[in-house]
Amino acid sequence: MSSYAVVDPATGATVQTYPTITDEALHAAIAGASETFRSWSRRTTVAERAALISRVAQLHEERQDALAAIIAREMGKPIGDALGEIGFSAAIYQYYADNAEAFLADEPITLMGGEGSAIVRKSPLGVLLGIMPWNFPYYQVARFAGPNLIIGNPVLLKHAPQCPESAAAIEQIYLDAGFPVGAYTNIYATNEQVADIIANPVVQGVSLTGSERAGAAVAEIAGRHLKKVVLELGGSDPFILLSTDDLDATVEKAAFARVDNCGQACNAAKRFIVMDHLYDEFVEKFTATLLSTKQGNPTDDGIAIGPLSSSGAAERLAAQVDAAVAAGANLVSAGERSGNFFPPGVLTGVTRDNPAFHEELFGPVAMIFKVSSEDEAIDLANDTPFGLGSYLFTTDPDQAARVADAIQAGMVYVNIVGADSPELPFGGVKRSGSGRELGRWGADEFVNKKLIRVGA
Protein backbone atom coordinates (compact mmCIF):
# COMPACT_ATOMS: atom_id res chain seq x y z
CA MET A 1 0.00 0.00 0.00
CA SER A 2 1.36 3.41 -0.97
CA SER A 3 2.32 5.89 1.73
CA TYR A 4 1.84 8.81 -0.68
CA ALA A 5 -1.36 10.57 0.25
CA VAL A 6 -2.81 14.01 0.79
CA VAL A 7 -4.16 13.99 4.35
CA ASP A 8 -5.56 17.38 5.33
CA PRO A 9 -3.96 18.10 8.75
CA ALA A 10 -6.75 20.52 9.67
CA THR A 11 -9.42 17.82 9.42
CA GLY A 12 -7.55 14.52 9.34
CA ALA A 13 -9.41 13.58 6.16
CA THR A 14 -7.61 11.68 3.42
CA VAL A 15 -8.13 13.71 0.26
CA GLN A 16 -6.37 11.46 -2.24
CA THR A 17 -3.84 8.65 -2.39
CA TYR A 18 -1.17 8.12 -5.02
CA PRO A 19 0.40 4.82 -6.13
CA THR A 20 4.07 4.19 -5.49
CA ILE A 21 6.14 3.97 -8.63
CA THR A 22 6.73 0.45 -9.90
CA ASP A 23 10.26 -0.88 -10.24
CA GLU A 24 9.81 -1.03 -14.01
CA ALA A 25 8.67 2.60 -14.19
CA LEU A 26 11.52 3.64 -11.91
CA HIS A 27 14.12 1.94 -14.10
CA ALA A 28 12.58 3.66 -17.11
CA ALA A 29 12.78 7.03 -15.33
CA ILE A 30 16.45 6.54 -14.51
CA ALA A 31 17.17 5.48 -18.08
CA GLY A 32 15.24 8.46 -19.39
CA ALA A 33 17.21 10.87 -17.20
CA SER A 34 20.45 9.30 -18.39
CA GLU A 35 19.42 9.68 -22.03
CA THR A 36 18.41 13.28 -21.41
CA PHE A 37 21.86 13.96 -19.98
CA ARG A 38 23.47 12.58 -23.13
CA SER A 39 21.10 14.06 -25.69
CA TRP A 40 19.95 17.33 -24.12
CA SER A 41 22.27 18.52 -21.35
CA ARG A 42 25.37 18.21 -23.48
CA ARG A 43 23.79 19.88 -26.52
CA THR A 44 22.27 22.94 -24.88
CA THR A 45 23.98 26.01 -23.50
CA VAL A 46 23.81 27.44 -20.03
CA ALA A 47 21.87 30.39 -21.45
CA GLU A 48 19.30 28.11 -23.08
CA ARG A 49 18.75 26.15 -19.90
CA ALA A 50 18.60 29.36 -17.86
CA ALA A 51 15.82 30.66 -20.11
CA LEU A 52 13.76 27.57 -19.28
CA ILE A 53 14.32 28.10 -15.55
CA SER A 54 13.16 31.69 -15.97
CA ARG A 55 9.94 30.32 -17.42
CA VAL A 56 9.64 28.01 -14.39
CA ALA A 57 9.80 31.12 -12.21
CA GLN A 58 7.05 32.78 -14.25
CA LEU A 59 4.79 29.73 -14.03
CA HIS A 60 5.14 29.66 -10.23
CA GLU A 61 3.88 33.23 -10.15
CA GLU A 62 1.08 32.60 -12.65
CA ARG A 63 -0.16 29.54 -10.75
CA GLN A 64 0.45 30.82 -7.23
CA ASP A 65 -3.14 30.57 -6.02
CA ALA A 66 -3.54 26.95 -7.09
CA LEU A 67 -0.11 26.03 -5.77
CA ALA A 68 -0.84 27.68 -2.41
CA ALA A 69 -4.13 25.83 -2.03
CA ILE A 70 -2.34 22.53 -2.60
CA ILE A 71 0.11 22.89 0.28
CA ALA A 72 -2.56 24.32 2.58
CA ARG A 73 -4.34 20.97 2.37
CA GLU A 74 -1.16 18.87 2.19
CA MET A 75 0.73 20.21 5.20
CA GLY A 76 -1.46 22.90 6.74
CA LYS A 77 0.44 26.01 5.68
CA PRO A 78 -1.61 29.23 6.01
CA ILE A 79 -2.45 30.64 2.58
CA GLY A 80 -0.51 33.85 3.21
CA ASP A 81 2.62 31.90 4.12
CA ALA A 82 2.11 29.58 1.14
CA LEU A 83 1.95 32.51 -1.26
CA GLY A 84 5.13 33.88 0.31
CA GLU A 85 6.90 30.55 -0.20
CA ILE A 86 5.86 30.41 -3.84
CA GLY A 87 7.06 33.95 -4.44
CA PHE A 88 10.39 33.15 -2.82
CA SER A 89 10.71 30.01 -4.95
CA ALA A 90 10.12 32.06 -8.11
CA ALA A 91 12.78 34.53 -6.95
CA ILE A 92 15.27 31.67 -6.48
CA TYR A 93 14.65 30.33 -9.98
CA GLN A 94 15.01 33.80 -11.48
CA TYR A 95 18.17 34.50 -9.48
CA TYR A 96 19.86 31.45 -10.99
CA ALA A 97 18.51 32.23 -14.45
CA ASP A 98 20.03 35.72 -14.21
CA ASN A 99 23.39 34.70 -12.72
CA ALA A 100 24.13 31.20 -14.02
CA GLU A 101 26.41 32.24 -16.87
CA ALA A 102 28.59 34.22 -14.48
CA PHE A 103 28.64 31.43 -11.88
CA LEU A 104 29.56 28.79 -14.47
CA ALA A 105 32.06 30.81 -16.50
CA ASP A 106 35.57 29.49 -17.03
CA GLU A 107 37.98 30.53 -14.27
CA PRO A 108 41.52 31.31 -15.45
CA ILE A 109 44.44 30.28 -13.25
CA THR A 110 47.61 32.33 -13.03
CA LEU A 111 50.46 29.90 -13.58
CA MET A 112 53.41 29.89 -11.19
CA GLY A 113 55.74 28.85 -13.95
CA GLY A 114 55.85 27.38 -17.42
CA GLU A 115 54.22 28.49 -20.64
CA GLY A 116 50.65 28.33 -21.85
CA SER A 117 47.45 28.70 -19.88
CA ALA A 118 45.13 26.95 -17.44
CA ILE A 119 41.45 27.25 -16.67
CA VAL A 120 38.86 25.52 -14.51
CA ARG A 121 35.73 24.70 -16.48
CA LYS A 122 32.54 23.78 -14.64
CA SER A 123 30.54 21.04 -16.31
CA PRO A 124 27.61 18.86 -15.21
CA LEU A 125 28.12 15.63 -13.30
CA GLY A 126 25.04 13.82 -14.57
CA VAL A 127 21.79 12.55 -13.09
CA LEU A 128 21.05 13.63 -9.50
CA LEU A 129 18.57 12.45 -6.90
CA GLY A 130 16.78 15.00 -4.73
CA ILE A 131 14.98 13.92 -1.55
CA MET A 132 12.85 16.78 -0.29
CA PRO A 133 10.78 17.38 2.90
CA TRP A 134 7.21 18.49 3.50
CA ASN A 135 7.71 21.75 5.39
CA PHE A 136 8.52 23.93 2.36
CA PRO A 137 7.31 21.86 -0.60
CA TYR A 138 8.17 24.38 -3.34
CA TYR A 139 11.10 26.27 -1.85
CA GLN A 140 13.15 23.17 -1.04
CA VAL A 141 12.81 21.94 -4.61
CA ALA A 142 13.66 25.34 -6.10
CA ARG A 143 16.98 25.70 -4.34
CA PHE A 144 18.09 22.21 -5.43
CA ALA A 145 16.61 21.75 -8.89
CA GLY A 146 16.93 25.31 -10.16
CA PRO A 147 20.72 25.60 -10.28
CA ASN A 148 21.33 21.96 -11.13
CA LEU A 149 19.10 21.94 -14.20
CA ILE A 150 20.85 25.07 -15.47
CA ILE A 151 24.17 23.32 -14.86
CA GLY A 152 22.82 20.42 -16.95
CA ASN A 153 22.24 17.80 -14.26
CA PRO A 154 18.92 15.98 -14.84
CA VAL A 155 16.93 15.60 -11.62
CA LEU A 156 15.01 12.69 -10.14
CA LEU A 157 12.88 14.20 -7.38
CA LYS A 158 11.53 12.10 -4.52
CA HIS A 159 9.25 14.34 -2.47
CA ALA A 160 7.83 13.72 1.00
CA PRO A 161 5.00 11.14 1.06
CA GLN A 162 2.54 13.75 2.31
CA CYS A 163 3.27 16.08 -0.61
CA PRO A 164 2.35 14.07 -3.70
CA GLU A 165 0.04 16.73 -5.17
CA SER A 166 2.58 19.55 -4.98
CA ALA A 167 5.23 17.16 -6.30
CA ALA A 168 3.11 16.47 -9.39
CA ALA A 169 2.37 20.17 -9.82
CA ILE A 170 6.09 21.02 -9.83
CA GLU A 171 6.83 18.37 -12.44
CA GLN A 172 4.04 19.75 -14.64
CA ILE A 173 5.52 23.23 -14.35
CA TYR A 174 8.87 21.95 -15.63
CA LEU A 175 7.23 20.23 -18.56
CA ASP A 176 5.09 23.26 -19.38
CA ALA A 177 8.18 25.47 -19.20
CA GLY A 178 9.70 23.48 -22.05
CA PHE A 179 12.05 21.06 -20.33
CA PRO A 180 12.25 17.70 -22.11
CA VAL A 181 10.90 14.55 -20.51
CA GLY A 182 13.72 13.16 -18.39
CA ALA A 183 15.15 16.51 -17.30
CA TYR A 184 12.96 16.69 -14.17
CA THR A 185 11.13 13.55 -13.10
CA ASN A 186 8.87 13.21 -10.08
CA ILE A 187 9.07 9.73 -8.52
CA TYR A 188 6.81 8.37 -5.77
CA ALA A 189 9.51 6.01 -4.50
CA THR A 190 9.75 3.85 -1.39
CA ASN A 191 12.77 3.96 0.92
CA GLU A 192 13.96 0.68 -0.55
CA GLN A 193 13.71 2.09 -4.05
CA VAL A 194 15.63 5.19 -2.96
CA ALA A 195 18.49 2.96 -1.84
CA ASP A 196 18.50 1.33 -5.27
CA ILE A 197 18.49 4.72 -7.01
CA ILE A 198 21.52 5.90 -5.05
CA ALA A 199 23.33 2.67 -5.85
CA ASN A 200 22.60 2.95 -9.57
CA PRO A 201 25.79 3.92 -11.45
CA VAL A 202 23.82 6.40 -13.57
CA VAL A 203 23.12 8.57 -10.52
CA GLN A 204 26.08 10.81 -9.63
CA GLY A 205 24.92 12.50 -6.46
CA VAL A 206 22.11 13.02 -3.99
CA SER A 207 20.81 16.02 -2.08
CA LEU A 208 18.60 15.49 0.96
CA THR A 209 16.79 17.91 3.20
CA GLY A 210 15.23 16.13 6.14
CA SER A 211 15.83 14.47 9.48
CA GLU A 212 19.10 13.32 11.00
CA ARG A 213 17.98 9.72 10.67
CA ALA A 214 17.19 10.09 6.97
CA GLY A 215 20.43 11.97 6.38
CA ALA A 216 22.51 9.29 8.09
CA ALA A 217 20.82 6.53 6.10
CA VAL A 218 21.30 8.29 2.77
CA ALA A 219 24.90 9.26 3.54
CA GLU A 220 25.70 5.66 4.47
CA ILE A 221 24.36 4.31 1.19
CA ALA A 222 25.97 7.10 -0.82
CA GLY A 223 29.28 6.48 0.91
CA ARG A 224 29.25 2.81 0.01
CA HIS A 225 28.76 3.76 -3.63
CA LEU A 226 31.10 6.79 -3.60
CA LYS A 227 28.41 9.32 -4.44
CA LYS A 228 28.55 13.03 -3.65
CA VAL A 229 25.96 14.14 -1.06
CA VAL A 230 24.58 17.45 0.19
CA LEU A 231 22.68 17.19 3.48
CA GLU A 232 20.52 19.84 5.14
CA LEU A 233 19.26 18.28 8.34
CA GLY A 234 17.79 19.45 11.63
CA GLY A 235 18.54 22.49 13.70
CA SER A 236 18.03 23.87 17.18
CA ASP A 237 19.03 27.43 16.41
CA PRO A 238 19.89 29.76 19.29
CA PHE A 239 18.48 33.27 19.57
CA ILE A 240 21.00 35.13 21.71
CA LEU A 241 19.89 38.40 23.29
CA LEU A 242 22.81 40.29 24.86
CA SER A 243 21.53 43.87 24.65
CA THR A 244 18.82 45.87 22.92
CA ASP A 245 17.62 49.45 22.76
CA ASP A 246 14.05 48.34 21.91
CA LEU A 247 12.96 45.22 23.77
CA ASP A 248 9.44 45.27 22.34
CA ALA A 249 10.76 45.19 18.77
CA THR A 250 13.21 42.43 19.68
CA VAL A 251 10.41 40.38 21.24
CA GLU A 252 8.33 40.72 18.06
CA LYS A 253 11.24 39.46 15.99
CA ALA A 254 11.89 36.61 18.43
CA ALA A 255 8.26 35.48 18.32
CA PHE A 256 8.21 35.56 14.51
CA ALA A 257 11.44 33.55 14.39
CA ARG A 258 9.79 30.85 16.53
CA VAL A 259 6.31 30.51 14.99
CA ASP A 260 7.00 31.11 11.30
CA ASN A 261 5.68 28.07 9.40
CA CYS A 262 4.13 26.97 12.72
CA GLY A 263 7.64 26.55 14.08
CA GLN A 264 8.33 23.84 11.49
CA ALA A 265 11.49 25.25 9.95
CA CYS A 266 14.95 23.77 10.38
CA ASN A 267 16.44 27.24 10.86
CA ALA A 268 13.73 28.60 13.14
CA ALA A 269 14.87 30.10 16.43
CA LYS A 270 14.20 27.43 19.03
CA ARG A 271 16.42 28.22 22.04
CA PHE A 272 16.28 31.76 23.43
CA ILE A 273 19.38 32.68 25.42
CA VAL A 274 18.87 35.94 27.31
CA MET A 275 21.16 38.02 29.53
CA ASP A 276 20.04 38.11 33.16
CA HIS A 277 19.29 41.84 33.24
CA LEU A 278 16.78 41.38 30.38
CA TYR A 279 15.53 37.91 31.23
CA ASP A 280 12.44 38.54 33.37
CA GLU A 281 11.02 41.26 31.14
CA PHE A 282 11.81 39.26 27.99
CA VAL A 283 10.10 36.14 29.34
CA GLU A 284 6.99 38.12 30.27
CA LYS A 285 6.67 39.95 26.96
CA PHE A 286 7.77 37.06 24.75
CA THR A 287 5.37 34.64 26.43
CA ALA A 288 2.47 37.06 26.03
CA THR A 289 3.30 37.65 22.36
CA LEU A 290 3.82 34.00 21.50
CA LEU A 291 0.70 32.76 23.26
CA SER A 292 -1.49 35.42 21.62
CA THR A 293 -0.43 34.43 18.09
CA LYS A 294 -3.57 33.81 16.06
CA GLN A 295 -4.12 30.16 15.18
CA GLY A 296 -6.70 28.67 12.84
CA ASN A 297 -7.44 26.75 9.67
CA PRO A 298 -4.96 27.36 6.85
CA THR A 299 -7.59 29.11 4.75
CA ASP A 300 -8.73 31.47 7.54
CA ASP A 301 -7.90 35.15 7.15
CA GLY A 302 -5.14 36.68 9.23
CA ILE A 303 -3.85 33.57 10.97
CA ALA A 304 -0.14 33.08 11.69
CA ILE A 305 -0.27 29.45 12.83
CA GLY A 306 -2.15 26.57 11.25
CA PRO A 307 -2.14 22.95 12.35
CA LEU A 308 1.06 20.98 12.57
CA SER A 309 1.73 19.09 9.37
CA SER A 310 0.40 15.70 10.48
CA SER A 311 -0.83 13.67 13.43
CA GLY A 312 2.64 12.14 13.70
CA ALA A 313 4.22 15.59 14.00
CA ALA A 314 1.74 16.64 16.69
CA GLU A 315 2.25 13.43 18.65
CA ARG A 316 6.04 13.73 18.54
CA LEU A 317 6.01 17.31 19.79
CA ALA A 318 3.50 16.46 22.53
CA ALA A 319 5.72 13.60 23.73
CA GLN A 320 8.78 15.88 23.79
CA VAL A 321 6.99 18.61 25.76
CA ASP A 322 5.54 16.10 28.22
CA ALA A 323 8.99 14.58 28.77
CA ALA A 324 10.51 18.03 29.32
CA VAL A 325 7.90 18.89 31.95
CA ALA A 326 8.31 15.50 33.62
CA ALA A 327 12.04 16.24 33.90
CA GLY A 328 11.41 19.52 35.73
CA ALA A 329 10.78 22.17 33.06
CA ASN A 330 8.01 24.74 33.46
CA LEU A 331 5.46 25.09 30.65
CA VAL A 332 3.21 28.04 29.93
CA SER A 333 0.84 27.19 27.10
CA ALA A 334 -1.91 28.90 25.12
CA GLY A 335 -4.20 25.94 25.77
CA GLU A 336 -4.65 22.28 25.03
CA ARG A 337 -3.77 20.41 21.86
CA SER A 338 -6.76 19.78 19.59
CA GLY A 339 -5.98 17.17 16.96
CA ASN A 340 -3.09 18.54 14.92
CA PHE A 341 -3.58 22.08 16.25
CA PHE A 342 -0.77 22.54 18.76
CA PRO A 343 -0.94 25.57 21.05
CA PRO A 344 2.09 27.88 21.29
CA GLY A 345 4.06 27.33 24.46
CA VAL A 346 7.13 28.46 26.41
CA LEU A 347 9.43 26.18 28.39
CA THR A 348 11.70 27.56 31.12
CA GLY A 349 13.85 25.80 33.66
CA VAL A 350 15.21 23.34 31.06
CA THR A 351 18.43 21.98 32.55
CA ARG A 352 21.22 20.26 30.68
CA ASP A 353 20.03 16.84 31.86
CA ASN A 354 16.51 17.47 30.55
CA PRO A 355 15.85 15.44 27.37
CA ALA A 356 14.57 18.57 25.61
CA PHE A 357 17.89 20.36 26.07
CA HIS A 358 19.57 18.67 23.12
CA GLU A 359 16.44 18.02 21.05
CA GLU A 360 14.85 19.92 18.19
CA LEU A 361 11.27 20.96 18.99
CA PHE A 362 9.57 21.13 15.59
CA GLY A 363 6.56 23.28 16.36
CA PRO A 364 5.49 26.48 18.15
CA VAL A 365 7.18 25.74 21.49
CA ALA A 366 10.17 27.79 22.67
CA MET A 367 12.82 27.17 25.33
CA ILE A 368 14.23 30.19 27.22
CA PHE A 369 17.52 30.21 29.14
CA LYS A 370 19.10 32.85 31.41
CA VAL A 371 22.83 33.63 31.23
CA SER A 372 25.03 36.13 33.04
CA SER A 373 27.85 36.71 30.56
CA GLU A 374 28.78 36.70 26.90
CA ASP A 375 30.94 33.61 27.38
CA GLU A 376 28.11 31.74 29.08
CA ALA A 377 25.78 32.64 26.20
CA ILE A 378 28.27 31.34 23.64
CA ASP A 379 28.83 28.13 25.60
CA LEU A 380 25.10 27.48 25.85
CA ALA A 381 24.50 28.32 22.19
CA ASN A 382 27.17 25.84 21.10
CA ASP A 383 26.06 23.08 23.50
CA THR A 384 23.96 21.33 20.89
CA PRO A 385 24.51 18.54 18.38
CA PHE A 386 23.19 20.89 15.69
CA GLY A 387 24.82 23.79 13.89
CA LEU A 388 22.48 25.17 11.23
CA GLY A 389 21.54 28.80 11.85
CA SER A 390 21.64 31.28 14.73
CA TYR A 391 20.40 34.72 15.70
CA LEU A 392 22.32 37.32 17.69
CA PHE A 393 20.96 40.59 19.08
CA THR A 394 23.29 43.19 20.53
CA THR A 395 23.82 46.95 20.33
CA ASP A 396 27.63 46.54 20.41
CA PRO A 397 29.16 46.06 16.92
CA ASP A 398 32.43 44.72 18.34
CA GLN A 399 30.55 42.20 20.43
CA ALA A 400 28.47 41.22 17.40
CA ALA A 401 31.59 40.42 15.39
CA ARG A 402 33.21 38.57 18.29
CA VAL A 403 30.20 36.41 19.15
CA ALA A 404 29.33 35.70 15.52
CA ASP A 405 32.84 34.29 15.06
CA ALA A 406 32.42 32.08 18.14
CA ILE A 407 29.05 30.55 17.24
CA GLN A 408 29.38 27.06 15.78
CA ALA A 409 26.82 27.26 12.98
CA GLY A 410 26.60 27.59 9.24
CA MET A 411 24.70 30.89 9.43
CA VAL A 412 24.58 33.83 11.86
CA TYR A 413 21.99 36.58 11.54
CA VAL A 414 22.76 39.69 13.60
CA ASN A 415 19.87 41.94 14.70
CA ILE A 416 17.60 40.55 11.98
CA VAL A 417 15.27 37.60 11.38
CA GLY A 418 13.43 36.34 8.31
CA ALA A 419 16.25 37.53 6.09
CA ASP A 420 16.82 34.47 3.90
CA SER A 421 17.46 35.48 0.29
CA PRO A 422 18.43 33.69 -2.95
CA GLU A 423 21.98 35.10 -2.94
CA LEU A 424 22.78 33.96 0.61
CA PRO A 425 24.25 30.47 1.22
CA PHE A 426 22.16 28.07 3.31
CA GLY A 427 23.61 25.12 5.21
CA GLY A 428 25.09 23.94 8.47
CA VAL A 429 27.76 22.08 10.38
CA LYS A 430 27.85 19.28 12.95
CA ARG A 431 24.69 17.15 12.82
CA SER A 432 22.90 19.78 10.75
CA GLY A 433 24.56 18.44 7.63
CA SER A 434 27.12 19.42 5.04
CA GLY A 435 27.26 21.34 1.80
CA ARG A 436 25.50 24.55 0.83
CA GLU A 437 22.49 25.60 -1.19
CA LEU A 438 21.53 29.02 -2.59
CA GLY A 439 23.86 31.77 -3.75
CA ARG A 440 26.78 30.98 -5.99
CA TRP A 441 27.67 28.21 -3.54
CA GLY A 442 24.49 26.33 -4.42
CA ALA A 443 25.63 26.22 -8.05
CA ASP A 444 29.00 24.80 -7.04
CA GLU A 445 28.15 21.50 -5.32
CA PHE A 446 27.32 19.16 -8.20
CA VAL A 447 29.75 20.27 -10.89
CA ASN A 448 32.91 18.82 -12.33
CA LYS A 449 35.52 21.50 -11.74
CA LYS A 450 37.64 20.38 -14.65
CA LEU A 451 41.20 21.64 -15.04
CA ILE A 452 42.25 22.36 -18.65
CA ARG A 453 45.99 23.05 -18.86
CA VAL A 454 47.32 24.09 -22.26
CA GLY A 455 50.99 24.25 -23.19
CA ALA A 456 52.57 26.95 -25.33
Q: Are residues 198 and 246 in the same domain?
A: no
Domain range for 207 is 4-232
| List of residues 6+ apart from 389 with CB closer than 8 A | 235, 237, 266, 267, 409, 410, 411, 412, 413, 428
Instruction: Decide if 179 is inside a domain.
Output: yes
The SS3 assignment for 315 reads helix
**Per the structure, how many domains does the chain have?**
2
Strand partners, 229: 206
pLDDT, tens digit, for every residue of 71-89?
A: 999 999 999 999 999 999 9
Q: What is the pLDDT of residue 75?
A: 97
Q: Are residues 86 and 27 in the same domain?
A: yes
Q: What is the pLDDT of residue 2?
A: 66
Which of 85, 163, 266, 437 is the catalytic position? 266
| 400/301: higher pLDDT | 400
Q: Are residues 66 and 207 in the same domain?
A: yes
Q: Are residues 95 and 68 in the same domain?
A: yes
Taking Cα atoms as reference points, which of 26, 25, 49 lies closest to residue 37? 49
Percent of the chain whose predicted confidence (pLDDT) is above 90: 98
Q: Are residues 253 and 218 in the same domain?
A: no
The alpha carbon dihedral of 437, 441, 443, 447 has a sign of negative
Q: Are residues 255 and 228 in the same domain?
A: no
Q: Are residues 207 and 291 in the same domain?
A: no
Examine the residue annotation and report whether 266 is marked as an active-site residue of this protein. yes
Examine the residue annotation and report whether 232 is marked as an active-site residue of this protein. yes
Confidence of residue 1 (pLDDT cuts 50, 70, 90): very low
Which of 165, 232, 359, 437 is the catalytic position? 232
pLDDT at 198 over 70: yes
This prediction's pTM: 0.97
